[in-house]
Structure 1
């Protein structure tokens, strides 16, 4: 059992709560209410064929009035967690540890995990294909997260990745990075970790695939629905995802301060190209180092390439070589389209551009990269945060709603995990502190955002890319 007390992070400022009087409804109300003003009649407007713009959604979110719950929590409080990535899952687990029930709603068809995504093709074949197609690995910097990861290692859920990782520069120059800190991967792919985390919980329910489309406060509870279908009523809600879907969900929820903070978040877009090759890719001739992962430098279309076969399967595996190529954020922005419906012409252009980038990074002559036997292209339209408020979680105690996710602290798995744990303990503290002024539990509602530094595929605390191997070390590695 692991506990993490949010108060040790000094989340609650010594100054007055984040709410200001002008933002809050009267605390004397005895029922839950959201008042929406009816606009004056106007001429009907022709509906755009392109749908509602993101900016329009965000403007509307400021017109809603704050919902306030004043009734006590139910005898057995139940929390809805919308989003089953690592942050949402750990929020559920730590609520379970505190004796609080939760239901995780996730849109995943194949499994939980969000950006802990793994795709397996022909799983029953001895030459099956496997790809981590979002998060590639993670590092540990926080002591409490280290305890959690050590427990995962003991259970066989994750292991240290000992393969060579470095920087691959345009033209084929590969520079291995010294192993300054352990790198971790899930034993059978990142999704395996997500699918295994809830196995020891008692008070967690999972609903998937389920796309929560509406939040409604009524009679002291939050009522959730999916396209008009009721999905239950809850004492509190957690938003554990982001992007345009989260903004739409918050648009008319009665949580203007939460919606405002979600609106401030800026996200990159990243293309993931999964490609299987019958033979090993040619490594840069000037080093001969058989790397398993590389941060790509000097290529417009590719920022990372990772060999899933070497990383996840036995070294003697003689099957196809499965690679994940991730684009740069700039390339993702230049070629961004609706990820639910990628035009064929865009898919072809992006795939060709990324394969040409791989070819150039490896220092191969144009047209000499082996043709892959399998490819799959995916756009992560809301990939990674580019700014952050720098707080572990956001919580509106009057609306009994919170946000967790990596973007609140950084852009990595550690940040996501710490955020989910923080919000779970914060909600449990609030539920288990009847009679306390709710305002004392307000967190992050007016926190300013700052730009977020890191690689295009995220941050890796403790991994210092400036610590390259010298020539002698490279020679030993290549032997």
Structure 2
């Protein structure tokens, strides 16, 4: 049987604004169109030509928006192949679960991830030997509220990939006032760290390929397929694509891809920036004997400008006793991240030292100990998560453009936690599989979330956890104290 291969057509019918001059030009499709402007009588300035040759790393948000809204819509009109393949850009929880669920439906996929040390995105764990230092430096734990995610977590428990975290967690107010939070809902952590969970998710999958480190820099539709490349190097061709990451890199990738509706929705997303400080101490942190509480393993910090979370990784991940180092992760507030934001790819030493000093001072304020009395860590490192947590959300599990055969998944679509990420990846995978099963016909029936409005999100600076809503934490803690 001969499979017809269709060349994508371009139409403005789905574009949010009229396209006067498309920023997406393919010589093989529209060779008669030129990107050279008519002579205006003025000699072009060399500086302008230099800017044109530069990569998109220097592109402003305004120019990206302009390109995104002006581009023409890719419209794949041919039938889907009998054995389609999906390209998934991003190897965080949502991308990994999307690949896993596609395999369950018999669909092959390739996951592209930028991670140098492993998969996982914000499921990041840093291990340093031989000192035996370990830090979860993004996602700290997760909770379960959805039955589908509960079934998935049960499988991870049976495999020994995750475990229940029963350590003392609560709310720490400036001055060392600690209010414990009840142990329900259960809190889960990756055994040995969150990254090990991420690396294990696809270990038994036969229909999933993983390519890393790889930073997909261009998407091009040609002959009914999406062609992906990294700085000019071809990375493969796919029947559909999934964008499983966000931030400025995703915005640049979509700016001239031929997916204006997808690009517009991604542009609506507002993200906060937060700093993570990893610090290892020889001795336990000094806790004042106040309110009769024992040293905690994790705390949401209130009333401190620079700190929103502090967690003892050694207790959480190693259950260390005795002379082992005490490894803490301190996470800043979003306001502190906003005030001290710099390009995360190139953090100046002066900024790193300033942030470190301010966050350690914040730890002293939170614990209620005198200024300068906190022991000096023998190891420390700061990291800026520039696209950390969503400020707004469409509150839908996924977005899918059937004409462009492209979708988006991620925790930000539903909230900001690992459960949201998993449900999003699961939803998009099944939606794409249904679309393939339908053969790609009647595409408008499969459009999801392309015009969904965004709503503000509220919650903890480190994420929103079902059952641990910020407005309920204080009352829950007080009720807990009254009943014990």
TM-score normalised according to structure 1 size: 0.90
- Structure-1 separation of matches of 2:245 and 2:428: 14
String of CA shifts for 1:19-38, please: whole Å, max 9, x gaps: 9955499xxxxxx9689773
Residue 67 (structure 2) aligns with: 60
Does the residue aligned with 1:269 lie in a helix, a strand or coil? strand
Partner-residue secondary structure (3-state), 1:116? coil
Task: Please give the alpha-carbon distance, in whole angstroms, between the structure 2 residues aligned to 1:435 and 1:347.
Answer: 50
1:24-63: per-residue Cα shift (whole Å, max 9, x none)?
A: 99xxxxxx96897736346345456992212221221111
Name whichever of 54-63 and 258-267 sits farther off.
54-63
Query: Structure with the greater relative contact order (CA < 8 A, sep ≥ 6): 1 or 2?
Result: 1
CA distance in 2, matches of 1:457, 1:215: 32
Q: Match for residue 465 of structure 1?
A: 473
1:95-154 Cα deviation digits (max 9, x unpaired): 0000000000000000000000000000xx3x4000000000011111111111111111
Counterpart secondary structure, 2:272: coil
Q: Secondary structure of 1:141's partner?
A: coil
Q: CA deviation at 1:271?
A: 0.2
Give the direction of change, closer, same or farther, for the CA distance of 1:378–1:430 in structure 2 (3 Å limit): same
In 2: Cα distance, 1:238 partner to 1:164 partner: 39
- 1:211 is matched with which residue? 215
Query: Partner residue of 2:7?
Result: none
Contact 1:33 1:68 in 2 (8 A): no
Q: 1:334 aligns with which of 333, 336, 339?
A: 339
The 5 A counterparts of 1:373-384 are 373-384=378-389
Partners of 1:289 and 1:474 within 8 A in 2:
no
How far apart, CA to CA, are the structure 1 residues paired with 2:431 and 2:29?
24
Q: Structure 1 CA distance, aligned partners of 2:335 and 2:297?
A: 24
- Within 5 Å, give how 1:171-250 maps onto structure 2: 171-250=175-254
Mapping 1:407-426, distance limit 5 Å: 407-426=412-431
Q: Name stretches of at least 5 consecutive residues in structure 2 with no aligned partner.
A: 1-10, 19-27
Is residue 2:107 matched to residue 1:100?
Answer: yes
Once the two structures are TM-superposed, the CA of residue 201 in structure 1 deviates from its matched residue by 1.1
Counterpart of 2:22 in structure 1 is none
| Structure 2 contact 398–407 (Cα < 8 Å) conserved | yes
Contact 1:178 1:467 in 2 (8 A): no
In 2: Cα distance, 1:88 partner to 1:22 partner: 26
1:74 offset after TM fit, Å?
Answer: 2.1
SS of residue matched to 2:328: strand
Gaps (5+ residues) in structure 1?
Answer: 1-18, 26-31
Q: Does 1:90 align with 2:97?
A: yes
Name the residue aligned to 2:76: 69
Of 255, 271, 277, the match for 2:275: 271
Residue 444 of structure 1: aligned partner: 449
Q: How many residues are matched? A: 449
Conserved 8 A contact 2:167-2:297 = yes
CA distance in 2, matches of 1:134, 1:79: 28
User: Which stretch shows the higher mean deviation, 302-311 or 312-321?
Assistant: 312-321
**Distance between the aligned counterparts of 1:344 and 1:72, measured in 2?**
54
Deviations 1:249-306 (A, max 9, x none): 0011000000000000000000000000000001232034210000000010000000
Question: Paired residue for 2:152, among 148, 151, 172?
Answer: 148
